[in-house]
Amino acid sequence: MITLEQLLASRDARAQRQQDLLAAWPDHTLICLTVQFPGPVKRSASSLVVGGAGLAALLDTFGSVVRHAQVRDLETGYEAYLMVPLPASLVKKTCCHIEDTHPLGRLMDIDVLAAGGHLLDRSSVGLEPRRCLLCDQPARYCMRAHTHTTAELLCKIEQMVADFA
């Protein structure tokens, strides 16, 4: 289990790592994969399955052009970073396709940062917000309103991982 302070520190460290990678690889697009699990346990056998599946999907898609890759297996969660020499909007559309079509894609958060550090969101490539795992509401709405319990979400996640494995 991690504390809120650990989670916030890991987000700050991830943001700094992203900036460092963008500085080291100018004119490249950064792909940053993290795993979305609710609650205080961010590293588990299931989260590692999701992270590994996400990395495999990204490498299947971009492997021939990946110029640099890093994977971090942390108590605060799985992280993978890939630098590619492709237009950020194309990369974002492709990553959203992975999130939308992969059996575990809803559990993956694939951020895309353009050279210079601009974070692209789904709307920037003409896509709708992601939907909740358990209902048809936008995921952000359910997260903010605490519409579902952590136990309900984790049960759905475990079922998704079991079905994938």
The pLDDT score that the predictor gives to residue 165 is 83
Which residue do the tokens 């952000």 mark?
A: 140
What CATH number was assigned to the domain covering residues 4-129?
A: 3.30.70
Q: Which residue ranges make up each domain of the chain?
A: 4-129
Interval 102-138: pLDDT, tens? 999 999 999 999 998 999 999 999 999 999 999 989 9
Taking a C-beta distance cutoff of 8 angstroms, is the pair 132, 147 a contact?
Answer: yes
Q: Which two tokens stand for residue 137?
A: 């509401």
**In the chain, which stretches have pLDDT less than 50?**
none
- Radius of gyration, CA atoms only, the chain: 15
Please state, in angstroms and rounded to a whole number, the distance separating the CA atoms of residues 72 and 148.
Answer: 29
The pLDDT score that the predictor gives to residue 48 is 96
The pLDDT score that the predictor gives to residue 125 is 92
State the pTM of this model. Answer: 0.94
